A and B are shown apart, each in its own frame.
Chain A
């Protein structure tokens, strides 16, 4: 968010270089000074501004124009509005029978890879990262000769809506790009969840994830390229989640 932090804020620090090293280390509000026992006015205003951005990310919807330009087929879940979305995670994971029908009419059935984009808890994350992530992902999947279905956008979607969509479209593998819960340091963080053989109610352990995708974290282009490798591996080995990483772990059985 704001690039202007503590170093311009504290008056006459004894060791400005040291202060800068500390404050540059992470985006927390370090060394912001104080006024008596309270934060300074500008610190407080900045905090409120960051909180406002985080709230906006949750409460606003992804722009219709963006969805159209990106060429995504838009559907909804069982959720009616933001209030319900926040209160009923279960209804954000399911689609109606009509929506399932609509999906089958407008999307390719039985693809090897089904891509889903969902607003999740941050519409800003979708708008900020998907334009760079999606094309490199599509390039890479094409290079691997993987048959990619029609990409879908879900409004008011939770992670597990990928299982419902993947099941209805009979996809081998399903990937959802979803906005993460915003923090006060970044409201633009996106996650990618992946599952091989999507089915409703499947265990979370079968999902792989790449998280913290944003310009200040894992850059979206690089995330797209990493997803290509991960999806290719999942399709080749026909598994996902911890089943894909079992050789990394030592399970003591006796």
Chain B
């Protein structure tokens, strides 16, 4: 059968560094799979590690980031028009900058035809673990592998098992939270770390030169929390106070631990000059290294580039082989997913009206949304015609401004799509199957591969 190669770009704008990778995804139908899958991911170009350009304490210099991306793509000898998929992600503290959202959307739209914008600490954790090889190791060995991505602004831990992501734990712990000048005097402290410093009685007054003991105590407390985040639950109160989002409650025994990110890379290496990067990074790495001696440490393929590799190679999914799509609609970007869950046996209209009402409330009338259905019910003729009729009724009552966009986990896109089409009076529609998405996530849907029978889909989180 036909074989495709997709050129994919990954761009990570982090607290400290900005990175670009270009990779090639090989798309094929493995024997017996019945659908196209991404069977290999080869990194074609690894960009240089750039310092993330800031134009103020709370703003990223978007033009400078755009220039970095442009230069890197030129160095990789890739035209933006030749990029078929990929993702831009803002990570760590950069995601909290005032113009983070504008940044990802601009870089994504300049990056190529179908490059997704993404943000969110849990997503970062997962992408880093997928990029480093932790997820693959967990799958191949049936083990629980933790990937701890320790960067400039945040630490994002993801636990993987053979089926994929088990859970994530994210903390306000990073090497750039305290910054120094060449003399070792403090030039900046992030809000996120002030509580911990006060708690420890460490004075972080800008301009002062803190003692080595104080810095070791601060880095030590941060490292304790990193280790705690990997080995818990239960978690200490201090870890809980530094957590971003919620922490899991079920204890899991970890078989292997990999450290990635700028600080994580130093954990694996030899001790370096503590002020080499003009921040707390090397001191924090040394503290983690000391405490991690008891852990089953893994040395994986990617460390500092784990997140960008994950963003470039793991964000694209492929739909089922047969979809029903009006190609004029594609590509579609930033479509909010409305989770419908399992469709009830009766009263479909009531459920769908509720979902559409919610969509109007959240995104406004006539704004396109994707109806994400977990289970349409038994795949019979009667059921599918019933579901199609209900969707059409509710859409018509809604005013008919929205295109009909439906996503199902079951293999039924063509049947449901045709049933919808014969009722929907020429309204544009796209029904895509064998992709799962949760309520509140966003979707980008690209143009079909393989003669209109499979579309690339990026499911993304945009949490600033």
Contact = CB atoms under 8 A, between A and B. Distances in A.
Contact of A225 (B2, B380, B410, B414): B414
Give the residue among B163, B380, B381 with the most A Cβ atoms within 10 A: B381
A218 B142 CA distance: 29
Nearest to B34: A218
Contact of A131 (B142, B381, B413): B381
Contact of B418 (A17, A21, A136, A218): A136
A229 interface: yes
B422 A221 contact: no
A222 B380 contact: no
B419 interface: yes
Nearest to A212: B34
A226 B411 CA distance: 11
A134 B324 CA distance: 19
Contacts of B227: none
Interface in A198-254: 212, 215, 217-222, 224-226, 228-229, 248
In this complex, the interface size class of chain A, counting residues with CB under 8 Å from chain B, is 20 to 34
Contacts of A224: 381, 415
B162 interface: yes
Interface in B379-421: 379-381, 384, 410-415, 417-419, 421
Contacts of B421: 143
Contacts of A15: 142
Interface in B409-437: 410-415, 417-419, 421-422
Contacts of A140: 418
B178 to A, nearest CB: 43
Given A131-B381, A136-B381, A221 B415 contact: yes
A43 B407 CA distance: 40
A50 interface: no
A139 B322 contact: no
Interface residues of B, number: 23
A119 B34 CA distance: 25
Given A132-B379, A215-B379, A221-B379, A21 B163 contact: yes
Contacts of B422: 139, 143
A198 to B, nearest CB: 25
Contacts of B419: 136, 139
A222 B322 contact: yes
A178 B186 CA distance: 79
Interface in A115-152: 131-133, 135-136, 139-140, 143
A222 B412 contact: yes
A35 interface: no
B415 A222 contact: yes
A97 interface: no
B293 interface: no
B1 interface: yes
Nearest to A138: B381
Interface in B217-238: none
Give the residue among B142, B163, B418, B421 with the most A Cβ atoms within 10 A: B418
Contact of B384 (A136, A212, A217, A228): A136
A143 B418 contact: yes
Give the residue among B163, B379, B380, B414 with the most A Cβ atoms within 10 A: B414
Contact of A132 (B163, B380, B411): B380
A87 interface: no
B412 A221 contact: yes
Contacts of B322: 222, 225-226, 229
B418 A228 contact: yes
Given A139-B419, A139-B422, A226 B414 contact: yes
A139 B380 CA distance: 14
Contacts of A228: 418
Given A219-B410, A222-B411, A226-B322, A135 B381 contact: yes
B418 A225 contact: yes
A225 B415 contact: yes
A75 B324 CA distance: 36
A215 B379 CA distance: 8
Contacts of A215: 379
Contacts of B411: 218-219, 222
Given A139-B418, A248-B1, A222 B379 contact: yes
Given A143-B422, A219-B411, A228-B418, A248 B2 contact: yes
A135 B411 CA distance: 18
A220 B411 CA distance: 10
Contacts of B34: 212, 217-218
Interface in A1-54: 15, 17-18, 21
A144 B384 CA distance: 19
Contacts of B2: 248
Contacts of B418: 136, 139-140, 143, 225, 228
20 contacts: A17-B142, A18-B142, A21-B162, A21-B163, A132-B379, A135-B381, A136-B418, A143-B418, A215-B379, A218-B34, A218-B411, A219-B411, A221-B380, A221-B384, A222-B322, A222-B379, A222-B411, A222-B412, A224-B415, A229-B322
Given A136-B415, A225-B324, 16 more contacts: A21-B142, A132-B380, A132-B381, A136-B381, A136-B419, A139-B419, A143-B422, A212-B34, A217-B34, A219-B412, A219-B415, A221-B381, A222-B412, A225-B322, A226-B322, A229-B322
Interface of A: 15, 17-18, 21, 131-133, 135-136, 139-140, 143, 212, 215, 217-222, 224-226, 228-229, 248
